[in-house]
């Protein structure tokens, strides 16, 4: 019997497969598509998950640079520029890689770890038993597994087959058009690389720019085709089933920006996409017996601000070690259920953020007045800091000991100064094993009965006020320097009874 079957070989399914394999569980990943070639989707990753990729050794693979990630100096919220240089502790990171390259990198890592990836296999039915899930495929074959995870997107077949409701709202007020384009040099600002607007106006690159007639985004990615996108709110939006053209996008740019810009197609395959309206939904539950949901299968929301991969990949990291612990038999009671209790509130905050931004970019004089107030508020570092933490996921705190100020929060970028010199946390977390860091001899003795599943690394810590940290595999703090009893309680709560 297969331990875990994952339906979907997108970024979330592939990262989950890697997390399981690192924990000693080798899943089978089923992907409906025969090849990995898809329409271009996400253009990068934003948020705290960039630090997670660094802590798995994937940031260097994606960038070709061994240096740790650096926070962004600026970002955007609801078509407002966010000046992140005013923050003493900037939590917002980004990694400008297209989704196709992310998927290829994760697929290569999964193959290194022995993951069985099977393309051209579509899940069409499932049957749950007390101890297994029978997975039926379109070609008539059947697999038996202990757990099935749906990582198969917003139209998840696994979610539907498991009879998990997907409540939420669908709106048809807006029409968004996106394409990869070329733009003649006279229409580009030579200093900023932005698009020339009416008069001396410039649409800055990589910002959402609201006008009285809609919103426009200009993204001139280095080394690959630029992407141009518009959003409009017509009085009577209709769903157009005809393929979108560059002429259609050009007409939309002229309406939104007030300038007619000649648009050309890049060499090779490009993106031409029209979306009418959108969905905001969260699954009624993330688990039904032995079936679980991750990523877009569990939640969908507006794409503004780019939170999708930050949310989905973090789901995968949270679920991976808990599911592996359950399969391997050392999970404490209820550990697997904490996947939903920890991750659902995060999805709800992302929905709140994207809805708020969608409202702020909308048309109308009332929205303009609201934006004037927001512009004043965002000049305050404490407001910008709050928004940056919300968008990046740095404000996430899982339920933990309220007396422990670090427990439940993402682990800081500590450095351990041991016998072999300084070592970054990112160098210690690539195995995805729990870690007890900076421990004294007493702390190490307390953790000794858990040494089969918890690694102990001794040395002084810098980058944190704590003298010792117990870190979960998903790089969240389980405990920070307390007495032996609180350490023993945290070890039992997260990693089960001692061996």
Residue tagged 């940290």 (tokens)? 469
Topology (CATH) of 2-167+280-392: FAD/NAD(P)-binding domain (3.50.50)
The answer to whether domain 409-495 has CATH 3.40.50.720 is no
Distance (Å, whole) CA 121 – CA 39: 19
The answer to whether domain 181-279 has CATH 1.10.30 is no
- How does DSSP classify residue 420? T
Q: What crossing angle do the helices spanning 338-360 and 308-328 adopt, rounded to 10°?
A: 180
pLDDT per residue as tens, the chain (499 positions): 999 999 999 999 999 999 999 999 999 999 999 887 666 667 789 999 999 999 999 999 999 999 999 999 999 999 999 999 999 999 999 998 888 899 999 999 999 999 999 999 999 999 999 999 999 999 999 999 999 999 999 999 999 999 999 999 988 788 999 999 999 999 999 988 999 888 768 899 988 999 888 999 999 988 888 999 999 988 766 777 888 999 999 999 999 999 999 999 988 778 899 988 888 999 999 999 999 999 999 999 988 888 999 999 999 999 999 999 999 999 999 999 999 999 999 999 999 999 999 999 988 899 999 999 999 999 999 999 999 999 999 999 999 999 999 999 999 999 999 888 899 999 999 999 999 998 777 889 999 999 999 999 999 999 999 999 999 999 999 999 788 999 999 999 999 999 7
What is the separation of C-alpha 272 from the centre of its chain, rounded to a whole number of angstroms? 24
Nearest to 39, CA basis, from 309, 272, 223:
272
Q: Residues 425, 464: contact at Cβ < 8 Å?
A: no
Distance (Å, whole) CA 17 – CA 5: 9
Tell me: the pLDDT tens digits for 210-267?
Answer: 988 899 999 998 888 899 999 998 876 677 788 899 999 999 999 999 999 999 998 8
Q: What is the pTM of this model?
A: 0.93
Residues recorded for the chain? 499
Dihedral sign for Cα 385, 388, 392, 395, please.
positive
Dihedral sign for Cα 47, 51, 54, 55, please.
negative
Q: What crossing angle do the helices spanning 99-112 and 11-22 adopt, rounded to 10°?
A: 20
Distance (Å, whole) CA 284 – CA 335: 19
Task: List the domain boundaries for the chain.
Answer: 2-167+280-392, 181-279, 409-495
Backbone angles phi, psi at 154, to 5 degrees: -60, -25
Please give the structure tokens belonging to residue 268.
């090779």
Please give the structure tokens belonging to residue 299.
């939640």
Helices and strands: H and E segment counts in the chain: 13, 27
């Amino acid at each position: 019997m297969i331990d875990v079957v994952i339906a979907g070989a997108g970024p979330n399914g592939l990262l989950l497969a890697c997390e399981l394999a690192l924990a000693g569980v080798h899943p089978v990943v089923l992907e409906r598509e025969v090849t990995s070639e898809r329409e271009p989707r996400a253009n990068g990753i934003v948020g705290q998950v960039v630090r997670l990729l660094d802590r798995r050794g994937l940031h260097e693979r994606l960038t070709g640079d061994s240096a740790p990630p650096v926070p962004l100096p600026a970002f955007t919220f609801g078509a407002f520029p966010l000046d992140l240089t005013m923050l003493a502790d900037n939590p917002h990171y980004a990694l400008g890689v297209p989704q196709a390259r992310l998927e290829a990198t994760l697929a290569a890592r999964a193959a290194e770890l022995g993951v069985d990836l099977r393309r051209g296999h579509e899940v069409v039915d499932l049957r749950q038993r007390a101890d297994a899930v029978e997975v039926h495929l379109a070609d008539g074959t059947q697999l038996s597994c202990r757990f099935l995870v749906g990582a198969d997107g917003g139209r998840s077949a696994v979610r539907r087959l498991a009879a998990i409701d997907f409540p939420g709202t669908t709106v048809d007020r807006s029409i968004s058009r996106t394409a990869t384009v070329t733009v003649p040099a006279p229409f580009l600002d030579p200093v900023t690389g932005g698009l020339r607007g009416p008069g001396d106006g410039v649409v800055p690159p990589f910002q959402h720019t609201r006008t009285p007639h809609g919103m426009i985004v200009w993204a001139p990615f280095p080394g690959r085709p630029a992407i141009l996108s518009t959003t409009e709110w017509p009085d009577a939006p209709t769903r157009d089933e005809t393929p979108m053209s560059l002429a259609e996008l050009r007409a939309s740019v002229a309406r939104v920006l007030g300038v007619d810009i000649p648009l050309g197609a890049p060499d090779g395959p490009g993106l031409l996409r029209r979306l009418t309206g959108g969905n905001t939904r969260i699954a009624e539950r993330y688990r039904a017996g032995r079936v679980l949901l991750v990523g877009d299968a569990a939640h969908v929301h507006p794409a503004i601000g780019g939170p999708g991969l930050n949310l989905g990949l973090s789901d995968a990291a949270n679920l991976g070690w808990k599911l592996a612990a359950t399969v391997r038999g050392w999970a404490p009671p209820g550990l697997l259920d904490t996947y939903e209790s920890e991750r659902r509130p995060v999805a709800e905050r992302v929905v709140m953020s994207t809805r708020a931004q969608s409202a702020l970019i909308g048309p109308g004089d009332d929205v303009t007045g609201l934006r004037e107030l927001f512009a004043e508020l965002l000049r305050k570092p404490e407001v910008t800091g709050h928004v940056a933490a919300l968008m990046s996921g740095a404000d996430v705190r899982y339920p933990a000991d309220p007396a422990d100020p670090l427990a439940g929060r993402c682990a800081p970028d500590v450095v351990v100064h041991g016998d072999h010199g300084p070592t970054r946390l990112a160098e210690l977390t690539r195995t995805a094993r729990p870690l007890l860091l900076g421990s004294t001899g007493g702390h190490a003795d307390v953790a000794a009965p858990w040494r089969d599943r918890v690694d102990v690394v001794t040395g002084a810590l810098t980058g944190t006020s704590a003298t010792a940290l117990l870190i979960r595999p998903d790089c969240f703090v389980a405990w920070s320097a307390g007495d032996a009893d609180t350490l023993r309680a945290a070890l039992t709560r997260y990693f089960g009874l001692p061996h």
